[in-house]
Structure 1
Amino acid sequence: MQQQWKKTFALIFSGQLFSILTTSMVQFSIIWHLTKTTESAVVLMIAGLAGFLPQVILGPFIGVWLDRWNRKQTMIAADGTIALFSLALGLYYYLGDPSLVFVYVILLIRSTASAFHAPSFQAAIPLIAPEDQLTRVAGWQQLINSFSIIAGPVLGIAVYSATSLGILLFLDVFGALIANVMLLFTKIRQPKPHSPATASSFFSELKFGWNAFIQVKSIVLLTIGTGIFGVAIMPLPTLFPLMTLTHFGRGGYSASIVDGLFGIGMIAGSFLLSMLGSRLKDISYICISMLGIGLTCAAIGVIGQGLFVYFVILSTIMGMMSPFFNGPYAAMLQRSYEPEILGRVISLVTSVTLLSAPIGLSLAGVIVSNFGVQAWFFWSGIITLVSGIFLYVQFKRMQVNVKVTTTGADGHSY
């Protein structure tokens, strides 16, 4: 039994590696293609919104469907939809040059399918792995995501330059098909289905999911902290090149070194988390991550112009700290709620996380324009540091991390 769940994840993650990697390649290459062919900030903004907004808008609602549907079939359908419309866009690019409206529509559909796939995958993990191994599994997943973040743009540009965007989209279809084939060979236990009375009322299920979410005060507190953390930290990848250029007076080669080592730090941190597993409490990993990111970020905010090497070192450490937040946070969610309601909770929390990105980017634009890029690094570091200390103190007081097994108004137990 101990080896069986590991074999299951080996199959799933090997397929997901191809799917996530090719998707990362396509996302970067589409943006680069639009940048190169239009040189329009408006076009890039609309493309970014098309690939982002569906997940934010649909997030609080799709959890109801995820908890009704078979999660394995949902993942296969979502990946299949992405593959189908990647094929359509690839054929269009291969045969000619599609209109921008057509590209926007494809990006919207791909984003909508992703909105179903990601939380469904997260909700399926505790149905496979033992509870005491969820943090280790989160480390494996972070390792795949970190590798794709680094390798995706590099491989995407290489394939795009050597062939065309159409060929690259065909690779995305291939990646999705591999992920689906691997899923077909795995067995995922399905949670107890809803009663007919519950399943007939969408909004009663939505309300029940919300009520279940807010009952675990520790998760509510952590989600609020995550929102604040996201506003402070999400703009940083965008600001790293600006910091390299304006503060240190260096060019694109130096910026690529910073970006690459940040990604290598993420891979190292993910690997370390997968090795450590549950040796520490999840909240301890999260607070250590926030303290590490806060200290390195604040230090970058005061570093001198002649200390570029230290900027590179601090950026690498920051990257290494990142998986210790994302992985344990996912594991905490998976432990804190019964599988029957986990889809609703994860989709709701994902929306909060995604929403913090545009808020952070908007605020960063104003702050950086008026006070310089270092001001954002320094104060976002201080906010993250204070938030990490606050969360640690609050969790020490609460000592609450229990599963929700509340009975709904219709008498159905979750």
Structure 2
Amino acid sequence: MNLKWKKTFSIIFSGQIFSILTSSMVQFSVIWHLTETTGSAGVLMIAGLASFLPQALLGPFIGVWLDRWNRKLTMIAADGAIAFFSLLLGVFFYLGEPSLGVVYAILMIRSAASAFHAPAFQAAIPLIAPEEQLTRVAGWHQMVFSFSSVVGPALGIAVYSASSLGTVLLLDVAGALFANLMLLFVAIPQPKPEAAEAPSFLMEFKLGWQSLIAEKPIVAITFATTIFGIAFMPLATLFPLMTLSHFGLGGYSASLVEAVFAIGMILGGALLSALASKWKDTTYMSLSLAVIGLTCLISGALGGGAFAVFAVLSFFMGAAGPLFNGPYMAMIQRAFEPEKLGRVISLVTSLMLLSSPVGLALAGPVVERYGVQSWFLGAGVVIVLTGIYIFVRFRRTNLK
């Protein structure tokens, strides 16, 4: 049994790494193409919203269908839909420059399909892995995602520069088809159906919310996660600004910071998978927030000549990220019955996604008035306090 579940995940992840990698290539290449061809911040903002909002807004509702449908087939169908519309957009680009409306529409459809794929995958994990190994599997998933996030943009721009956006889109089709092929080789058991007391979509949706709210520890950590997201998510946008405005350096230095942050994420995922089950999940999460918060605080206090220190801090900030995200998802996977997990994961994923625009809306005026380093300082304080809250709240509980 021990070897069987590991073999299953090795097959699944071997396919998923190509699918996530090629999707990351497409995401970056499309934005880069729009930047080159339009030079419009408004166009980029709309493209970003088209890629993000459908997934965030659909999340609370699609969980009902995820818990009704076969999760393996849902993943295959979602990846297949992404592949089809990548192919369609590639055909448009080969025939000529498509209108912005077409690009926005296809980005929205890809985002909607992703809203089904990611939660279906997360909800399937407890059906395959032993409960005590869920944190380790979360570490593997963080490594796959981080690696794809690092390599994807670089490969995307290389292929785009050497050929065309259409070629990048065709590679995305190949990545999705390979991921689906790997899924055909594994068996993913289905959870037992819920009792007939939830016969309608509305009732099943309500039961999902009630199940989440009934788990007070998960509610407390989800609240803390939302606060963390509001403080931390704007930093993805502010890292280049910190390099350019505070340290007075150019694009090469900004890309270096992004690279060391991403490499830190990969190593953090590896560390989590190696140390899984050594401590409680809440201990990993508290440690993660302490490291992220302190690196933010120190970054905000650095002088204009300390760019090298900022780069090192960025590495540790990235490395700490998987120590929060992985255990949080593992806790959710343990806390809920498999037949309700699709709804719960969809709900919490939407909350995390929606924290990003809230954080950006708050960060904009603060950075404009007080400078970019002020958000690093403020975010550091908020994140450290959030970590202390989780540590104090759960230090004497038996919660895994």
- Shared fold, TM over 0.5: yes
When the two chains are superposed, the root-mean-square deviation of aligned CA atoms in Å is 1.0
Q: Which residue of 2 aligns with 1:368?
A: 367
Find the aligned partners of 2:75 and 2:193 in 1 and give their Cα distance: 18
* Preserved contact between residue 334 and residue 342 of structure 1 (Cα < 8 Å): yes
State the Cα distance separating 1:397 from its structure 2 match: 5.0
> Shift of the alpha carbon at 1:150?
0.7
Q: Quote the residue 1:265 is aligned against.
A: 264
Distance in 1, matches of 2:162 and 2:17, equals 23
Residue identity in the other structure for 2:285: I
Asked whether the 8 Å contact 2:292–2:383 carries over to 1, the reply is yes
Task: Work out the CA distance in 1 between the residues paired with 2:39 and 2:23.
Answer: 23
Q: Is the 8 A contact 1:218 1:398 kept in 2?
A: no
Partner of 1:84: 84
Q: Are 2:280 and 2:399, in contact at CA under 8 Å, matched by a contact in 1? A: no
- 1:335-369, Cα deviation, whole Å (9 max, x unpaired): 11110100000000001000000011111111100
CA contact (8 A) 1:94 1:167 kept: no
* Residue 276 (structure 1) aligned with residue 281 (structure 2): no
Residues 262-290 of structure 1, C-alpha deviations (whole Å, 9 max, x = no match): 11111111111111111111110011000
Distance 2:212 2:10 in 1: 31
Larger mean Cα displacement after TM superposition, 248-257 or 24-33: 248-257
Aligned residue type for 1:17: I
Q: Name 1:136's counterpart in structure 2.
A: 136
Per the alignment, residue 183 of structure 1 pairs with 183
In structure 2, the partner of 1:405 is: none
* Contact 2:244-2:250 at 8 Å conserved across structures: yes
Superposed displacement of residue 175, structure 1: 0.2
SS at structure 1 position matched to 2:279: coil
Q: Does 1:242 align with 2:241?
A: yes
- Could you tell me which amino acid in structure 2 is paired with residue 77 of structure 1? A
1:304 Cα deviation after fit: 1.2
Please state how far the C-alpha of 1:46 moved relative to its aligned partner.
1.0
Aligned to 2:318: 319
- Post-superposition Cα deviations, 1:297-331, rounded to whole Å, max 9, x if no partner, equal 00001011111111111111101101101111110
Question: 2:80, 2:176 within 8 Å by CA — same for their partners in 1?
Answer: yes
TM-score normalised to structure 2 length: 0.99
Letter in 1 for 2:138: A
* 1:7-39 C-alpha deviation (Å, 9 max, x unpaired): 000000000000000000000000010111011
Q: Which moved more, 1:10-19 or 1:185-194?
A: 185-194
Alignment match, 1:5: 5
- Percent of pairs identical after alignment? 64
Deviations 1:111-161 (A, max 9, x none): 000000000000000000000100000000000111011101100000000
SS of 1:52's partner is helix
Alignment of 1:361-400 (within 5 A): 361-400=360-399
Higher deviation after alignment, 246-255 or 155-164: 246-255
Q: Counterpart amino acid of 2:379?
A: S
1:202 matched residue in structure 2:
201
Q: How does 1:9-408 map to 2 (within 5 A)?
A: 9-196=9-196, 198=198, 200-400=199-399
For structure 2, which runs of at least 5 residues remain unmatched after alignment?
none
Distance 1:399 1:12 in 2: 32
Alpha-carbon offset, residue 196 of structure 1? 4.8
Separation in 2 of the partners of 1:392 and 1:323? 17
Query: Shift of the alpha carbon at 1:370?
Result: 0.4
Give the drift of 1:194. 3.0
Instruction: Give the aligned length.
Output: 400
Offset at 1:391? Answer: 1.3
After TM superposition, give the deviation of residue 400 of structure 1 in Å. 4.7
Is the Cα–Cα contact under 8 Å of residues 64 and 205 in structure 1 kept in the other structure?
yes
Structure 1 range deviating more: 39-48 or 166-175 = 39-48
> Partners of 2:102 and 2:188 in 1: how far apart?
36
What is the CA distance between 1:53 and its match in structure 2? 0.8
Deviations 1:176-215 (A, max 9, x none): 00000000110001001234552x3111111111111111
